[in-house]
Amino acid sequence: MQIKDLHISPPLFLAPMAGVTHSGLRTIIKECGGVGLLSTEMLSARRLPNENATLSPLLIKSPIETPMSYQMLVSDPDDIPAAMEALHRYGAQAVDLNLGCPAPAVRRQGAGSKLSEDLDLVRKVVSTARAATDLPLSAKIRIGTELNREKLQNFCRMLAGEGIDYLIVHGRLQKEKFCRPPRWEWIGVAKEAVDIPVIANGGIFTVADARQCLDITGADGLMLGRAAPQKPWLFAEIHHQLYGGPVPPPVNKPALYKRFIDILEATFPAGRQIGRTKEFSHYFARNYSFGHHLGSRVQSCTSMEQVHHVARAFFMLQEPEACTQAWPAI
């Protein structure tokens, strides 16, 4: 996929997730292979100009993390020019506008899915962002407040008309929880309305899910969210089976978990390591029948030293050989 000067291959995208899609996760996903475009967590447009890219957990990155899109959370178009200047300084290769996040804290700011309810303001936000950068510009949306084909398609056409280069569509209504299966067919409705690439997001946890989502939506690519911290190797599996990529090597899950926490300890400020480890563990634990033991015990940890002991003990019970290979005795 070619978007302006940015080549995205394969067309597999990492979704922006608060507290999750930071340098630690992005690095292990990149090392596993198969990802076409990485993403930051969502970044406040108002705060971006004052962030320190070498210290902020939201902006810390390593050379391997490329190409990468920076997602901007915005409610006021006046915040965009300075925020975009900051993203240029930080080396962004693409910019995404968050028009879909339904979290109450985000909506109270007038951002995310709340912003998408004000069409005039959305138009102003997109046109201002388009004027402020020549980088590939995307928008991430949900399928609306209700199932309305005309409204969804008109909204997508408006975004494309104001200069969005590609559209990311999450296949749920604004108030629908993740427990509800995504409405992939409605991503197809959005795809019919525009000539720009459409990326499908929501409910992709296996290669079979990926294949079915593409078949139903006709989308140009896929974005993985909650599956990414659970199975960082899933990009490589989809790349191989759907796009002819190389055969992925066997996955050593204890080694991958240890690699993740080693990255955090090496690159993140001490006070910012434990919280992100707990977030990651919440998802990664789902790979095991008794994974809740790992999740709950890590949640109780107050130091990274405790995390090492708790995690190694868990993995020694679940996969002793793999754990011994990756994790010397403490």
Render pLDDT for 169-195 as a digit per residue (tens, 0 to 9): 999 998 888 888 999 999 999 999 999
User: What pLDDT digit, counting tens, does each position of 139-175 carry?
Assistant: 999 999 999 999 999 999 999 999 999 999 999 998 8
Same domain? For 232 and 257 the reply is: no
What contacts 93, CB < 8 A, 6 or more positions away? 6, 66, 67, 68, 69, 135, 136
In a domain, 217, yes or no: yes
At 193, which CATH number? 3.20.20.70
Is 179 one of the annotated active-site residues of the chain?
Answer: no
Same domain? For 230 and 290 the reply is: no
Same domain? For 193 and 257 the reply is: no
Number of domains in the chain: 2
Task: List the domain range (segments joined by +) for residue 284.
Answer: 253-326
* Mean local confidence (pLDDT), 236-262: 97
In a domain, 109, yes or no: yes
In the predicted structure, residue 55 carries a pLDDT above the cut 90: no
The pLDDT assigned to 263 comes to 96
pLDDT band at 326 (very low <50, low <70, confident <90, very high): confident
What whole-number percentage of the chain has pLDDT above 70? 100
Q: State the first-to-last Cα distance of the chain, in angstroms, to the nearest integer.
A: 46
* Mean local confidence (pLDDT), 1-13: 97
Same domain? For 217 and 197 the reply is: yes
In a domain, 248, yes or no: no
Same domain? For 108 and 235 the reply is: yes
Residue type, 304: M
Residues shown for the chain: 330
Same domain? For 225 and 270 the reply is: no
Same domain? For 266 and 143 the reply is: no
User: What pLDDT digit, counting tens, does each position of 267-288 carry?
Assistant: 998 889 999 999 999 999 999 9
Kindly report whether the peptide bond that precedes residue 67 is cis, defined as omega within 30 degrees of 0: yes
Torsion of CA 235, 238, 239, 243, to 10 degrees: -150
Least confident piece of the model among 36-45, 125-134, 265-274: 265-274
User: What pLDDT digit, counting tens, does each position of 58-113 carry?
Assistant: 999 999 999 999 999 999 999 999 999 999 999 999 999 999 998 899 999 999 99
- Give the whole-angstrom CA distance, residue 296 versus residue 37: 32
User: What pLDDT digit, counting tens, does each position of 211-230 carry?
Assistant: 999 999 999 999 999 999 99
The pLDDT assigned to 16 comes to 97
In a domain, 151, yes or no: yes
The pLDDT assigned to 259 comes to 97
* Mean local confidence (pLDDT), 245-271: 95
The pLDDT assigned to 271 comes to 87
Three-class DSSP category at 116: helix
Domain-ending residue, one of 197, 221, 243: 243
The pLDDT assigned to 125 comes to 97
Same domain? For 289 and 191 the reply is: no
Same domain? For 236 and 267 the reply is: no
Domain-ending residue, one of 195, 217, 243: 243
In a domain, 203, yes or no: yes
Single out the catalytic residue among 101, 156, 301, 323.
Answer: 101
In a domain, 223, yes or no: yes
Same domain? For 6 and 70 the reply is: yes
Domain-ending residue, one of 243, 270, 294: 243
Same domain? For 196 and 71 the reply is: yes
Same domain? For 93 and 192 the reply is: yes
